[in-house]
Chain A
Amino acid sequence: MKDYEMVIGLEVHCELQTATKIFCGCSTKFGGAPNTHVCEVCSGMPGTLPTLNKKVVEFAVKAGLALNCDITRKNKFDRKNYFYPDLPKAYQISQLYFPICRNGHVDVKTSEGMKSIGIHEIHMEEDAGKLVHDPVTGMTMVDFNRCGVPLLEIVSEPDFRSAEEVIAYLTKLRDTMQYLGVSDCKMQEGSMRADVNLSVRPVGQKEFGTRTEMKNIASFKAIERAIEYERDRQIDLIEEGGTVVQETRRWDDEKEYTYAMRSKENAQDYKYFPDPDLMPLEISEEYIENIRANLPEFADAKRERYVSQFGLPEYDAEIITGATTLVDVFETATEMTDQPKDVSNWIMTDLLKLCKDNHVAAEDMEFDGKKLGAIINLVNEGKVNRKTGRQVLEKCFTEDIDPAEYIEKNGLAQVSDTSAIEPVIKQVLDENPKPVSEFLAGSEKNFQFLVGQSMRALRGKADPQAVRTVLTKLLDEMR
């Protein structure tokens, strides 16, 4: 058998985190009752006119600059015509002729080193509505809430040669969008969707093979599996003397195979033309430069800085910069405590464990870094020990409480006032005459036993250092 290589290109749709839809003032909020975020514009009533949401342009330029694109100065919108009930106007407003961003690239890390992936273009468009099959009536139920939600479609060059490169790119795209605050890119909620165009060719062949397209695969894992399956299917087909048909295939993640959706015979013919309802959009150099100057620090730069400036281990820096929620917690708590390594340790050991125990992905976590900062300060000031600190963090993770108040209310503060703990320790010594006499006779290990007994008598609230000091003093007096 010949050696084959894959050629893959991606079309990624990201739903933008704007408050309103791209062409009307309806809310973009996810999960409302059907057709409650819909007006005459996004339901396509005759005679209504779309007006472009400023924020969509800003987000598109941000994304384009972050992905090293040229920004198109004179933009237009075009109509993509197709007749399907998820689209009430019978056309989608998109950008065919003058997409807002072109000729970009992103550098991704793979096991074989860095690789540059070309971005062919990014365009602005509107999302379609949602269709649900109704088994009772045998009809289709249409909900237009999502109709008109702004999307960026990011079209890559056919630069991928492996599933690993695809996943690395998608991860980088997601991180970039999240750092920009442009899209939350949650695949499971559909705010990031990927179409995979894949073909195979014998190694060394210049021409591309015939490609198939796999649409809307719902997770990184599924994408990886779908790519491997489709590669094997195409190679087997060619090896058996068959030919690959250009078609759209759907990936069944449960049964792990792809099947043809629409065949080429009824390939879509969208009859694009410029949308006369929307005026051209001109973007000034000044506007672009202003956005460029205010781009945030991205994951790669942050990771390097966390290692060089704060001395975090590579691995910790990688995990923390992998989710903007963790970055927020880390930076807020570090600002408050000036103890980046401490903060990182708390995140890596305690916070991530809490995420796991509560079945929350780190990126979905809703936790205020100020609370972690407060807890770390309380521990470092000796107000509570680390164990209590961990309990307080656990409480803060699921409930909205103030750490200091909670410690106060529940009497969790540790006792470091020696005059307060001395009587208790004295009593411990009285109750343990044997260990005491053995210690005084030279058995050093009994000291640790007495520390333990004292901590227990103080119900764990005492500062261990204070306990040692008092114990040493009292024992010295007995010599």
Chain B
Amino acid sequence: MEITQDLVRYLEALGRIELSPEEEVKTQKDLADILGYIDKLGELDTAGVEPLSHAAGRTNITREDVVINGDMQEQVLSNAPETKDGTILVPRTFD
């Protein structure tokens, strides 16, 4: 897959971020390098190798359905740039 400038801009739009022209160039190169590395791995002959679902090799890590957390509103809101009546204020999202 070729990383074009258009693709970088499309990813910016999906991620709701804005890159400067210099960052766009750098990102385009980084992404191309990453995919190039993956393409290299793709050259390996993996016929007959069962796909791995997770590198950790563990399964069924679950917990009981018991409430263990209390009210942490203060801590949660302490990370927010702006708050109101217990909610986090963000730029308007409705059409």
Contact = CB atoms under 8 A, between A and B. Distances in A.
20 contacts: A18-B65, A25-B63, A25-B68, A33-B73, A35-B77, A51-B61, A52-B61, A74-B53, A83-B16, A132-B87, A137-B89, A139-B82, A139-B89, A140-B91, A142-B87, A144-B76, A274-B53, A280-B53, A281-B60, A281-B62
Contacts of A140: 89-94
Contacts of A20: 65-68
Contacts of A15: none
A55 B65 contact: yes
Interface of B: 13-16, 53-56, 58-69, 71-73, 75-77, 79, 82, 84-95
Contacts of A25: 63, 66-69
A143 B77 CA distance: 10
Contact of A53 (B53, B62, B75): B62
Contact of A139 (B16, B54, B66, B92): B92
A282 B93 CA distance: 39
Given A33-B73, A134-B84, A279-B58, A19 B65 contact: yes
A27 B67 contact: yes
Given A25-B69, A85-B90, A139-B91, 10 more contacts: A34-B73, A45-B79, A52-B63, A76-B54, A82-B14, A139-B92, A142-B88, A278-B61, A280-B53, A281-B60
Contacts of A84: 93
Contact of B87 (A27, A56, A83, A143): A143
Contacts of B88: 35, 85, 141-142, 144
Interface string A279-290: 111100000000
Contacts, number: 134
Given A25-B69, A143-B87, A144-B76, A53 B63 contact: yes
B76 A38 contact: yes
A54 interface: yes
Interface residues of A, number: 54
A269 interface: yes
A213 to B, nearest CB: 17
A54 B89 contact: no
Given A36-B73, A38-B76, A269 B65 contact: no
A54 B85 CA distance: 34
B69 A26 contact: yes
Interface in A225-282: 261, 266, 269, 271, 274, 276, 278-282
A35 B67 CA distance: 16
B90 A139 contact: yes
A133 B92 contact: yes
Contact of A282 (B59, B79, B92): B59
A43 B54 CA distance: 25
Given A20-B67, A35-B77, A54-B64, A281 B86 contact: no
Contacts of B13: 266
Interface of A is mostly: loop
Nearest to B13: A266
A39 interface: yes
Contacts of B84: 134, 137, 141
B62 A57 contact: yes
Contact of B59 (A40, A81, A85, A279): A279
A138 interface: yes
A36 B86 CA distance: 8
Interface in A272-322: 274, 276, 278-282
A397 to B, nearest CB: 32
Interface string A357-395: 000000000000000000000000000000000000000
A131 interface: yes
A290 B63 CA distance: 20
A54 B33 CA distance: 41
A137 B90 CA distance: 10
A111 B65 CA distance: 42
Contacts of A35: 73, 76-77, 86-88
Contacts of A280: 53-54, 59-60
A265 to B, nearest CB: 11
A18 B64 CA distance: 10
Given A279-B56, A279-B60, A279-B61, A24 B90 contact: no
B78 to A, nearest CB: 11
Closest 4 CB pairs of A and B: A25-B68, A55-B65, A141-B87, A34-B86
A132 B54 CA distance: 39
Contacts of B75: 40
Among A35, A84, A134, A276, chain B packs the most CB atoms within 10 A around the CB of A35
B6 to A, nearest CB: 14
A144 B91 CA distance: 16
Nearest to B15: A83
Interface string A65-96: 00000000010100001111100000000000
B62 A39 contact: no
A33 B67 CA distance: 17
Contacts of A36: 71-73, 86
A137 B88 CA distance: 12
A143 B87 CA distance: 5
Contacts of B71: 36-37
